[in-house]
Amino acid sequence: MDYLAGLNPSQRAAVEQTEGPVMIVAGAGSGKTRVITFRVAHLIRKGVDPFHILVLTFTNKAAKEMRERIMSVVGQEAKNIWMGTFHSVFARILRVEAELIGYPRNFTIYDTDDTKSLIRAILKEMNLDDKLYNANHVYGRISSAKNNLISPQEYNKNEAIMAEDIANGRPQMGQIYMTYAQRCYRAGAMDFDDLLFKTNVLLNKYPEVLHKYQHQFKYLMVDEYQDTNFSQYLIVKRLAAVNENICVVGDDAQSIYAFRGANIQNILNFQKDYPDVQIFKLEQNYRSTKMIVNAANSVIEKNQNQLEKNVFSENEDGEKIKVARAFSDNEEGKIVAEAITQERALKNLRYKDFAILYRTNAQSRAMEEALRKINVPYKLYGGTSFYQRKEIKDLIAYFRLTFNPNDEEALKRVINYPRRGIGDTTVEKILVAADQQQYRLWDVVVNAHTFLDGRSANAVGNFGLMIQSFQAVAKTNSAFDTAMHIAQHSGILKDLYEDKSVEGLSRYENIQELLNGIKEFSEREDIEERGLDVFMQDIALLTNDDNDKDPNADTVSMMTIHASKGLEFPVVFIVGLEENLFPSQLSLNSRSELEEERRLFYVAVTRAEKKLHLSYATSRYRWGTLNNCEPSRFLDELNPACLELDFKPRSTAMETGGSFQSERMAWKQKDTESYSKPKPKIVKTTSILPKAHVPTPGFAPSDTSVLQVGMEVEHERFGFGKVVNLEGNRPDIKATIFFKELGQKQLLLKFAKLRIVQ
């Protein structure tokens, strides 16, 4: 039994308890995977046939890693374990039993794209408005119904559900679900949700099948049990009902997928389902320093709805958690990029030792731009590079077309997006006409009635007129006003706003973030030309980045906190710690929602091994208007003894270890009026950052031709600073200045307006 020698007492006890219901509460970094794999290996060493062991995971990667570890202990017998994701294991069972529920054994499995394509076809056949009945929304509604085991028939009989659809202006949703299910059945196809839904139907409707698998799987283990939904919960409960040799592993403090249907009550109520359960708590964190573990504990203890545990670390004490305050998201990106460069040099680290975590994908823009400016390589995980996302490329295609109507790739991309009745057949006719006449596509578009007939000619002609109107607007308006006009009048904003799915909301936020970036660009003081066409040139350079090509490259990792679960990094930056961003404004309606946000923050904090950085911005653009931001309540909830501030607090209370509540109050007192007035969604003004400096009376810019490194200067907005570097040739000399309040900034001298103090 020497293979158990490396386990601590709690881990070993959990491994050796093989009979009866067992719950292993595994704190962050406590060796959960190690315990699961050794427990399965221990069962086999005790003589349990691996064919009688079922292990359910949430990712194929986790299953593969566990099987390899088990194989290192018990050899080839590990191949006989029933191990995999919920979907893969139950698809395997359905292949055997499918004919009982009217499906062929070789049924097709529809992926998300197949599902949405079928939904769009049904919407078209039913003559329904595809904006009101958005395919993503319909898909989400059907998926939610299946995960709650609501069949099409039950859906259409449920008065509450039908009333909700009517209230939302979608009375045909039940009929769409019914038709969708019928079409899948007729095609001999199941979607991902069906793999669980149909398994429940099978086990419920055919007792002999349930009996067969209850005796097949004498030992069940479920990883990440806190992430199971109602459908998964019922399958597991039914299969374990005879032997009750069920072991669930998870951490309620890391339950962060409620938006996918995960139900934290499954793990919280496990003891009620199995009163004789034996509970083992893995509380020693092997991953992080004592400082990081103590900070994480100080936050998660604020949640009322949780299993009691005391996570601790016997690692080194570690450095305090650094908290940085920025005046904008762009400055926040710069602070993070510079910190990575400094720590990498000082501590001899690799880029892959660093991770930047954020609440929403849209936040990656400022981080990406800051890293690119100082040539720090990075890779985005669980998402696409900001400027490569479809919705961003769509809007940028409109920008490109506005300034160069002969850009054929841009034209083909957006001529029918959002949909305006220009189908593939019409586009093909445009291509043929242009080819035959040796014209450009744009020439055919603006002369549509010469080459096309009827409604097609009108639709194409109107598209051409719209682009020409954008060109007129661009000649007389700022970059931001032009971009906002195009976003609104192209229909992109409306199309994305009406998509209320999680994905749709994310896409809408990304468009907002692009417009925020254009707003900041249009207000820059260090460049002379600030038109949208100049911004487009900058974007063209940014999007040529190649750093994603090598998966093993030494790159900084960037991802949402949701995507970071299960990962760990020596140094972690958590950015955007502001009220209404993290915690999200959408999560402040109930205690359960707020507690999930707090668990999400806990997950983020516990990704760090050696060093943790936190940051927030005091202002952030929203639809072109600069809004003041308050520090997140989660900063308040951290033990102040674990924190080190990288800035001078506005409130004297903060200087003596007070809370961020005092920082928020100081900010509110400073700008009460901006908080009390409601903000319009779109305001065409030239809002600027709140002034951090009152210029010296009689302030007047000096002749900067005599400026030298080491001189002290005053900027009317940024305050007093010291010149640390000068580069370039006249008249384009750039000065790097360290400002006392803001940190390091780079300014073009011919625009900087500096007063030389010394």
- Annotation: binding site for ATP: 26-33
Cα–Cα dist 539/546, whole Å: 14
Cα–Cα dist 606/27, whole Å: 10
In sequence order, what are the beta bridge partners of 628? Answer: 619
Annotation says 271 is catalytic: no
Annotation says 254 is catalytic: yes
Token pair in block for residue 365:
């823009």
Amino acid making up residue 551: P
Among the listed residues 224, 251, 252, 331, the single catalytic one is: 224
Among the listed residues 254, 284, 402, 482, the single catalytic one is: 254
Contacts 24+ apart (CB under 8 A), 650-658: none
Among the listed residues 12, 67, 607, 633, the single catalytic one is: 607
SS3 state of residue 574: strand
> How many residues in the chain?
758
Task: Give Cα separations from 63 to 55, 247, 474, 712 (angstroms).
Answer: 8, 16, 54, 60
Cβ–Cβ under 8 Å, residues 4 and 45: no
If you write DSSP's letter for every residue of 498-510 in order, what string do you get?
Answer: T--SHHHHHHHHH
Look up tokens 């940190």; give the residue: 743
Antiparallel, parallel or unpaired: β 734-739 and 719-727: antiparallel
- Cβ neighbors of 455 (< 8 A, separation 6 or more) are 421
Q: Which helix (H) or strand (E) element contains residue 497? A: helix 492-497
Q: Is the dihedral of CA 461, 466, 467, 471 positive or negative?
A: positive
CB burial of residue 247 (10 Å; 0-12, 13-18, 19+): buried
Amino acid making up residue 697: P
Annotation says 609 is catalytic: no
Nearest Cα neighbor of 422 from 460, 454, 453, 386 is 460
Look up tokens 């794999």; give the residue: 37
Token pair in block for residue 681:
């969604």
In the annotated binding site, the residues are 26-33
With b for 16 or more beta-carbon neighbours within 10 A and e for fewer, the 613-624 pattern comes to bbbbbbbbbbbb
Amino acid making up residue 318: G
If you write DSSP's letter for every residue of 237-301 in order, what string do you get?
Answer: HHHTTTT--EEEEE-GGG---GGGT--THHHHTHHHH-TT-EEEEE-B-SSS-HHHHHHHHHHHT
In degrees, to the nearest 5, what angle opens at C-alpha 390 toward C-alphas 546 and 493?
140
Cα–Cα dist 318/605, whole Å: 14
Annotation says 226 is catalytic: no
Token pair in block for residue 312:
């601790």
Cβ–Cβ under 8 Å, residues 344 and 556: no
The terminus-to-terminus CA distance of the chain in angstroms comes to: 75
Count CB atoms within 10 A of the CB of residue 399: 26
Q: For 238, list phi and psi in degrees, rounded to 5.
A: -65, -45
Cβ–Cβ under 8 Å, residues 635 and 612: no
Catalytic residues: 32-33, 223-224, 254, 607
